[in-house]
Amino acid sequence: SENGLLLAVETSCDETSVAIVEGGRRVLANCVSSQMETHERFGGVVPEIASRKHVESITRIVEEAISKAGIRPSDLSAVAVTQGPGLIGSLLVGAAAAKALSLALDVPLIGVHHIAGHIYANALVAELQYPAVALVVSGGHTELVLLESEGKFRRIGQTRDDAAGEAYDKVGRALGLPYPGGPHIDRLAHEAEEEIPMPRAWLEPDSYDFSFSGLKSAVLAALNQARMKGQTLNPAHVARGFQESVIEVLVAKALRAASEYGAKQLLLAGGVAANRGLRAALKSACEAAGLPLIVPPFEYCTDNAAMIAAAAHLKWKRGRTTPLEMKSEPMLSL
């Protein structure tokens, strides 16, 4: 197809996902099989179990996506896959499947950076304008990325310790909430009438980096102190204080970056983009600054293959394909 009909595979963490996207924009199928229930009882993703689960599901999800999209495999223009970063055992399952398809169908392979995928989830719903600044917040990443032009990324800030989602999940665990804690903390924070104030990690005045482990420790310390005094803190008040701290820093740094680099748009990406408080705070800050904000629908924020297809489509248009010898890279840089 002239528009490019891409099949994409994403298996970097605990979701097995296969998507079929036409013209970089029309999502014909975006099938996601989550292993959440499997990992829930461990309170986090167990890498060895994740890769085994990918092996069990990948063929079924590929078939499901092809049948849902109603395409013939021979119509595909290319096969895309997340090259990294991620869990190596999980990445390898997706890469093996994508390479086999590429070989069997005699179409090019396109390796995609997972964060480029998260960012280009925005291209599924909007026309991107450059320069743009992207705030990527997920369980594995917290990054500010400058997009100078199409496909040209510069990471200007990142977390020095925990990712934002990781901090949410650790605080959730301390509050006795189910895994992952993010959505539960979001709900509690929303319901709370008061907050227990928590510190903000601004780091050096000109830094676009983040740090969330001190905040997590402050929450744990507050809970412990109360416990030693025989008191219990209202979890909703803790959740609200924690969430306010995370949001204030994320929003302030994203807006400062957008202003410094003359961004035409602010793009939000990653699972934490589902956070109601973060969306609302970004929306009003962007309105006040006259900065267009783009937020993809939730299904394209959490790990999914449609976003990988969207990023791959830009490479495909420019003939930037990847040799079949592609190595999966757990620490691939953007």
Give the CB-side neighbour count of residue 196, counting CA atoms within 13 A. 18
Report what 162 binds from Zn ion, ligand KG4, none; CB cut-off 5-8 Å by kind: none
Shortest Å, Cβ 248 to ligand KG4: 15
CA torsion 80→138→93→111, rounded to 10°? Answer: 30
Shortest Å, Cβ 310 to ligand KG4: 15
Shortest Å, Cβ 250 to ligand KG4: 11
Among 4, 84, 111, 165, binds ligand KG4 (CB under 6 A): 165
168 is a contact residue toward ligand KG4 (CB under 6 A):
yes
Among 61, 177, 201, 274, binds ligand KG4 (CB under 6 A): 274
Of the candidate spans 54-62, 176-184, 247-255, 280-288, the one that interacts with ligand KG4 by CB under 6 A turns out to be 176-184
303 is a contact residue toward ligand KG4 (CB under 6 A):
yes
21 vs 272, which CB is nearer to ligand KG4? 272
Among 57, 102, 159, 275, binds ligand KG4 (CB under 6 A): 275
Q: Could you tell me which residues are annotated as the binding site for substrate?
A: 136-140, 169, 182, 186, 275
166 vs 303, which CB is nearer to Zn ion? 303
Shortest Å, Cβ 334 to Zn ion: 13
Among 24, 140, 235, 296, binds ligand KG4 (CB under 6 A): 140
Report what 180 binds from ligand KG4, Zn ion, none; CB cut-off 5-8 Å by kind: ligand KG4
Burial class (CB in 10 A: 0-12, 13-18, 19+), 234: middle
Burial 85-124 (b: 16+ CB within 10 A, else e): bbbebbbbbbbbbbbebbeebebbbbbbbbbbbbbbbbbb
Q: How far is CA 212 from CA 31, 47, 178, 219, 239, in A?
A: 32, 23, 20, 11, 14
Q: Pattern of binders to ligand KG4 over 184-223, x per CB under 6 A? A: --x-------------------------------------
- Residue 290's CB is within 10 A of a number of other CB atoms, namely 6
139 is a contact residue toward ligand KG4 (CB under 6 A):
yes
Site residues for ligand KG4, 30-59, by CB under 6 A, read none
Residue 32, strand partner residues? 17
Question: What contacts 24+ positions apart, CB below 8 Å, involve 96-104?
Answer: 97/9, 97/11, 97/58, 97/59, 97/62, 98/9, 99/324, 99/326, 101/7, 101/62, 101/73, 101/76, 102/78, 102/324, 103/324
- Answer for the pair 334, 113: CB distance below 8 angstroms, yes or no: yes
Site residues for ligand KG4, 60-89, by CB under 6 A, read none
Report what 139 binds from ligand KG4, Zn ion, none; CB cut-off 5-8 Å by kind: ligand KG4
Residue 43, strand partner residues? none
Upstream peptide bond of 85 is cis (omega within 30 degrees of 0): yes
296 is a contact residue toward ligand KG4 (CB under 6 A):
no
117 is a contact residue toward ligand KG4 (CB under 6 A):
no
Q: Pattern of binders to ligand KG4 over 221-260, x per CB under 6 A? A: ----------------------------------------
138 is a contact residue toward ligand KG4 (CB under 6 A):
yes
Residues 6+ apart with CB under 8 A from 304: 10, 15, 17, 19, 30, 32, 121
Contact positions toward ligand KG4, by CB under 6 A? 13, 138-140, 165, 168-169, 180-183, 186, 270-272, 274-275, 302-303
